[in-house]
Copies of this chain bind each other. A is one copy, B any other.
Amino acid sequence: MSDQTVPTVQPDERSVGFVERQYTTLFEPPDRLRMESGREFGPITVAYETYGELTPERDNAIFICHALTGDAHAAGWHTPHDRKPGWWDDFVGPGKGLDTNRYFVICANVLGGCQGTTGPSSINPETGEPYCLTFPFITVGDLVSVHSALVRRLGVERLLAVIGGSLGGMQVLEWAARFPDQIHAAIVLASAARLSAQGIAFNAVGRWAIQDDPNFCEGRYYGKEPGPRRGLALARMIAHITYLSEDSIEKKFGRRLQHSDTFAYVLKREAEFQIESYLQYQGKRFVERFDANSYLYLTKAMDYFDLAEAYGSIEAALRRTDARFLIVSYTSDWLFPTAQSKELVAALVKEGQDVTFIEFDSPYGHDSFLIKEQIGQLESVVVPFLDQTYLARRRKD
């Protein structure tokens, strides 16, 4: 193939351009991560990316907590041949919601993940084999402890803000509770102080789909094809339905057929409706990039998340920080409905804390914070919120 036929990316002036995934290893002996389960664990390699420049005062760092299946690659491109930029490229870059001309933005893959940070697919240095299900049980608190240590390693004493949606939002809340003095602001999108029983139910069924796959082999499937691809795809498809709103599925696919104008009147495994084809595509793409064991660990961490349970009450969890809060929910999000955001707001208001709340009108369901069409809306509140936080802190210091 000649160079002319290879499509290459030319990042525009609103892109962070080409970026590299970086690594650092934390909790090396004798230092160990004291986990919420009581277990100690290390070493932990963390994969992260940064965009923008840290000021000499080190006061302009923003940390992005990614959601369940995200990774450290939030913005820009790794190579000119990438099919897609980072997962939040619409929101992170010069002049964008998280303006890399002003801020130093950090995003890291979570503990237990499968995109460079130590997780069940990593090699256990003590055995030379992948951890598989011997990987320690992790909680949202543990994810945050690792990222908190990464921030210190990067020489940042206090973050201007931590931001994240869904499981990312849970990490933001946990950060405020666990490291109250490490953040000036907390931005929580489409999230909650705990996972609902319905959320636990969907996660559980997804995990059982993986564990029922005969190729799961009790988690010891690395290097053995095909692995629990079918179970993982099922789990993803179930979850994907919950990330969309009924209206958005209806508008995008409705009852349209995939290959024909008329019903086949045949019972096959193949997709007949467009929505079926779309789900199969989502499932297929997902198993190419995600590890089933990571899915088990991280969904379980979500299930366990409950600020009130861990700290006595939501108020008790959040009262120790003087961070400003921005809480965002979306009208059509039925997985993390607005009522759950309001519960957070009520607790913060009760404690007399600085909290801004906005419910955005969006047809896109839980995934709204990731959707290009909704990013302008999010920018319109995040940009001034960060501005005010930054200027206030500068005046104070």
Among the 9-residue stretches A70-78, A145-153, A262-270, A385-393, the one with 4 or more Cβ atoms under 8 Å from chain B is: A262-270
Q: How many Å lie between the Cα of A221 and that of B272 in the bound state?
A: 25
- Contact partner of A205 (CB less than 8 A), chosen from B36, B195, B279, B300, is B279
Given contacts A266-B137, A309-B255, A334-B246, A208 and B234 within 8 Å (CB-CB): yes
Q: Which residues of the partner chain B approach A79 to less than 8 Å between Cβ atoms?
A: none
| Residue A357 CB within 8 A of the other chain | no
CA distance A231 to B208 in the complex (A): 10
B contact residues around A300 at 8 Å (CB): 267
Chain B's nearest CB lies how many Å from the CB of A62? 31
Cβ contacts under 8 Å, A212 to chain B:
213, 230-231, 234
> Which residues on the B side are within 8 Å of A276 (C-beta)?
200-201, 204
Distance to closest chain B CB from A51 (angstroms): 34
A175 to B211, CA, bound (A): 43
Knowing A194-B255, A197-B253 are in contact, say whether A273-B205 is a contact too (CB < 8 A): no
Given A204-B276, A334-B246 in contact, is the A38-B198 Cβ separation under 8 Å? no
Complex: chain B residue closest to A274, CB-CB: B197
- A residues contacting the other copy or chain, number (CB 8 A): 58
Contact with B along A176-205 (1 / 0, CB 8 A): 000000000000000000111110111011
A54 within 8 A of B: no
Determine how close the nearest CB of chain B comes to the CB of A30; give it in whole angstroms.
Answer: 23
- 0 or 1 for each of A271-308: is its CB under 8 Å from B? (1 = yes): 11101100100000000000000001100100110100
Enumerate chain A interface residues (CB-CB to B < 8 A).
Answer: 36-39, 133, 137, 139, 194-198, 200-202, 204-205, 207-209, 211-214, 230-231, 234, 237-238, 241, 244, 246, 249-250, 252-255, 263, 265-267, 269, 271-273, 275-276, 279, 296-297, 300, 303-304, 306, 309, 334, 337
14 A-B pairs, CB-CB below 8 angstroms?
A37-B265, A196-B246, A196-B249, A198-B244, A198-B246, A201-B275, A204-B273, A204-B279, A208-B234, A212-B213, A212-B234, A238-B238, A267-B296, A272-B303
